[in-house]
Structure 1
């Protein structure tokens, strides 16, 4: 299973890395163009001021900026053409660090500044930008590599210029007298270096966490996809990770079971070719699913031209029986509307049985073939009640346990007291009469009066 997850994650990580390198390339290009604009403005100011010395200093800086632009364009071309390889991230990051260090060194040299003034160099602030952009990659190793290069490289540049003799005596005295010198001292620069190192470490942790989250998301999506092949659609999302382990152990809880069966399906099949029969059964199942969704039931399984629905999973509720009865009535209504619409030669009829009780609920089977199952007397009794609809020629029967849970005993009438086969003890089977129209109620009332007069 881990190999399957790795196979699914590898292309995602590759695409993410390509997109990250593309973003980094555009950042390099944008940064280089911004620096080019800065150099042009500086050159123009130098020409107007007649300071030709500044023009000479900008030459090497221009080469560094050109290298940054070239590196960005090269990365862009490699990604666009599909030639980009994972190891190139280390090479391009090394190029970024080398260009930043070169710009910092050139600026310190041309300005005749010691290493403590490294924080005053504009180019150094490209380092956090490069680190932030590198976080798009899902590769902590590359991020740590870039952080190490920048921190060690800047430390070496600062140490080299601290021991050099670029400062003229007058400038040295001016800097010593400046209050800003304290902010550019060794302790302050060590703090800045530590912050830069922590920035790189934190972005590396961000990429590591993002990578782990991606692994977890793909693993859970793969588990859901595998479970959805065997489990009800409403159950599969609940069976991921530790939850699946808990459901493997199973539990006993009260549920309401609804069995629905399509009557005279054999006679119907005799008059249909296989294609029409497939469409017909699919249409029947679609109506059952529609009713189940409307009342929060779960279609545990379809059994040929019948279905087993359960209410009270994953957690039992006080209205489970009421919703089950509502679902049963909705199925009857949908079938009646189907008959009125299609005018079948043989009207479609269904039998529905309801019962409420304690059942075992859990997931059984190996990882390659899991099955959500409800086991117990409640299932058997619901099936027997559904079979009794044939004997009493009604579409819907329910046990007194279900009707009592729904709080609707006054709306139902008893049709039988019997012990279902294989079970000790009687079950009170109830039938909810179809509500009569006002005209039929008046006719029934008149017949009652006439009978009383005859007596």
Structure 2
């Protein structure tokens, strides 16, 4: 072949402006979609982080309840607490802490079984608000303490702990909702009664001297300690999530330099280890090659040759993407496309055959569009069988590959398209797996070189005119 492959009729006008603009627009759309849509891998990481956050939040609640409960018991056992007000406060706090810890245990149990993972944080936050604000309302209305003195209630000191524990979920809307609930609830309690007079205020404070003893202040310090522990857990969990995300992103960026881009969404530390180990799986392979490529490769100038090969590969990419094929590699003017990697599907072989027909149609349109003389012809060989699939090589040069007799057979089928004078050939194994027996006919061909077992090759039957 000669450089005539790239010559166009002089009378044809090339839309040199519209096509690049359209291509640029399509590229921009793809970039926007990839930017704003969450990939399966990202969604999986978020789901795992949500479950882990629920477990840690439940465990933190149990630990907080235990610490504060022991502090209250220590204060109660001291003989210095004799005020009925203080004793009622302690008993109410003990009941609240028991419920608080029990809810934490329920959280851990439900998170372990993936029950209501999405709704559980909101439900727990609402229950916490009802528990804390209900305790404050009880102190206010049953004990007759003015709402303006809410700062002396022990439950108020627990609020920062609860709000810090909510941060474990990493849900900004939930955090804002919790803050609003507590602000509204405290405002109702604080401003529901008129401000007491100075004399009444002095009398009330005089009867609440136990709220300012060393035991009470110790409980406040313990509350601050638990809040700091919860915040430590929040920061630590955020750091772990960040490190994991950076690790997996770095791994994905490094591996996509060598591995097919279609594998990028599923690449993680665990899946990469599986690829490194390798496995044997049934796949459908499609080999594609341009006929008589060596002749025009020697005569065509480098610039035109680069444009020609790029245009060809773009059409291969288009056909593979439309039918869910994974391009294992481009080999000069050819390509190997896999169907069934990384996950096997029932229609793998049917999609491979459809991809072959689609690629032939694209090449035919390319010929008509560019007026190649002689026209571009390709050979396509499709076969199905078991292969070794995995990542081989050292850290400096990794390569995703498939190996085995099935691969060699598929390559020989593609080469047989020359002697059979047919652009598309498929093995009977592939035709049977796709359920297209009536659309194909046996093809006469020479024995496949290097293939020991008998392979029956099939060619598409001519489509009858309607």
Give the TM-score taking structure 2 as reference length. 0.55
Please report how far the alpha carbon of residue 194 of structure 1 lies from its aligned counterpart in structure 2 after TM superposition.
Answer: 2.1
SS at match of 1:192: helix
The aligned counterpart of 1:427 is 455
The aligned counterpart of 1:392 is 420
The aligned counterpart of 1:242 is 270
| Larger Cα-atom Rg | 1
1:292 aligns with 2:320: yes
Q: Within 5 A, what are the aligned runs for 1:116-127? A: none
SS at match of 2:262: coil
CA distance in 2, matches of 1:180, 1:293: 75
Q: Within 5 A, what are the aligned runs for 1:116-195? A: 174-175=202-203, 178-195=206-223
Asked if structure 2 preserves the Cα contact closer than 8 Å seen for 1:417 and 1:426, the reply is no
Report the CA distance shift for 1:177/1:407 in structure 2 as closer, same or farther (over 3 A). Answer: closer
1:202 aligns with 2:230: yes
CA distance in 1, matches of 2:337, 2:402: 10
SS at match of 1:218: helix
CA distance in 1, matches of 2:412, 2:298: 27
CA distance in 1, matches of 2:290, 2:201: 101
CA distance in 2, matches of 1:358, 1:272: 40
SS at match of 1:363: strand
Please report how far the alpha carbon of residue 388 of structure 1 lies from its aligned counterpart in structure 2 after TM superposition.
Answer: 0.9
Q: Within 5 A, what are the aligned runs for 1:56-75? A: none
SS at match of 2:422: coil
Aligned pair partner of 1:331 in 359, 367, 389 = 359
Please report how far the alpha carbon of residue 383 of structure 1 lies from its aligned counterpart in structure 2 after TM superposition.
Answer: 0.7
CA distance in 1, matches of 2:313, 2:354: 17
Q: Which runs of 5+ in 2 are unaligned?
A: 1-148, 168-197
Report the CA distance shift for 1:263/1:173 in structure 2 as closer, same or farther (over 3 A). Answer: closer
Structure 1 stretches of 4+ moved >6 Å: 170-173
1:348 aligns with 2:376: yes
Asked if structure 2 preserves the Cα contact closer than 8 Å seen for 1:418 and 1:426, the reply is no
Question: In the TM superposition, what whole-angstrom CA distance separates every residue of 1:83-139 from its partner, at most 9, and x where no partner exists?
Answer: xxxxxxxxxxxxxxxxxxxxxxxxxxxxxxxxxx99569xx99x969x97xx9xxxx
The aligned counterpart of 1:313 is 341
Report the CA distance shift for 1:194/1:397 in structure 2 as closer, same or farther (over 3 A). Answer: same
1:233 aligns with 2:261: yes
Asked if structure 2 preserves the Cα contact closer than 8 Å seen for 1:351 and 1:389, the reply is yes
Question: In the TM superposition, what whole-angstrom CA distance separates every residue of 1:323-368 from its partner, at most 9, and x where no partner exists?
Answer: 1001111111111111111111221111000000111111111122
Q: Which has the higher contact order (CA 8 A, sep 6+)?
A: 2
Asked if structure 1 preserves the Cα contact closer than 8 Å seen for 2:420 and 2:444, the reply is no
Aligned pair partner of 1:408 in 432, 436, 441 = 436
Aligned residues: 283
